[in-house]
């Protein structure tokens, strides 16, 4: 599983590992946003939590992850991105993996929170095609306008600075202790420096750490 605060690059590294290991990438954030876009009951409930920067209730997320891990394409393993975020979720996951005969490898991306705030608060998304930009690392050619289709760029609700700060505080308060729980329950742990390096360089650090474990 990829572990780290919001904006630490979990999603990017999970996708790179998916291509490298040929196993599914399971993002709880993506699954929740999909339900939100569909406007179903779970999505409506989850949206109110995400808008405020708070975590979606454990039972909801646990159910989503368990259902996904039971799919045939996860028989050889999976990459978890953004889960577990609480000790209760970690306990639930441990029980599910035990039933499936799977072990856990935790990859912890360590990053500077100040850099995280700049990175996330600078994100912009095309209102039509969904293409993502970053005002610092990957700005559009014309400010506020999508390069692809000329549509205006918007700030996602969960990318606003006030929400980002709340998400980081929530992570520190509720999610960071999960590392201690995972380490104490026998999970293998890789600590990887996630600052000031390209995605490819961070991936290599992860690969090196995995070999050592």
Write out the catalytic residue numbers: 10, 85, 123, 156, 167
Spatial neighbors of 62 by CB under 8 A, at least 6 apart, are 89, 92, 93
CA distance 44 to 116: 28
Contact 193, 204 (CB under 8 A): no
| CA nearest neighbour of 42 among 74, 69, 67 | 67
Using DSSP's 3-state secondary structure scheme, residue 145 falls into strand
Burial zone of 153 (CB within 10 Å; 0-12 exposed, 13-18 middle, 19+ buried) = buried
Strand 123-126 and strand 132-134: the pairing is: antiparallel
Spatial neighbors of 56 by CB under 8 A, at least 6 apart, are 32, 45, 46, 49, 50
| CA nearest neighbour of 18 among 92, 89, 81 | 81
Residue identified by tokens 């339900």 is 35
CA distance 120 to 131: 15
């Amino acid at each position: 599983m990829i572990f780290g605060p919001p904006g630490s690059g979990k999603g990017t590294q999970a996708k790179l590992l998916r291509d490298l290991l040929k196993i599914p990438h399971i993002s709880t954030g993506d699954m929740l946003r999909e339900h939100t876009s569909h406007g179903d009951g779970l999505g409506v409930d989850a949206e109110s939590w995400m808008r405020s920067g708070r975590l979606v209730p454990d039972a909801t997320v646990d159910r989503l992850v368990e259902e996904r891990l039971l799919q045939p394409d996860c028989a050889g393993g999976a990459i978890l991105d953004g889960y577990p975020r609480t000790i209760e979720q970690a306990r639930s996951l441990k029980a599910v993996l035990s039933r499936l005969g799977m072990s856990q490898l935790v990859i912890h991306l360590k990053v500077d929170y100040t850099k995280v705030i700049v990175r996330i608060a600078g994100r912009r998304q095309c209102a039509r095609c969904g293409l993502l930009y970053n005002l610092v690392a990957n700005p559009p050619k014309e400010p506020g306008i999508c390069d692809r289709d000329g549509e205006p760029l918007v700030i996602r609700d969960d990318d606003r600075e006030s929400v980002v700060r709340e998400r980081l505080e929530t992570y520190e308060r509720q999610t960071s202790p999960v590392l201690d729980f995972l380490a104490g329950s026998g999970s293998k742990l890789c600590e990887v420096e996630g600052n000031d390096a390209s995605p490819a360089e961070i991936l290599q650090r992860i690969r090196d750490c995995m070999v050592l474990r």
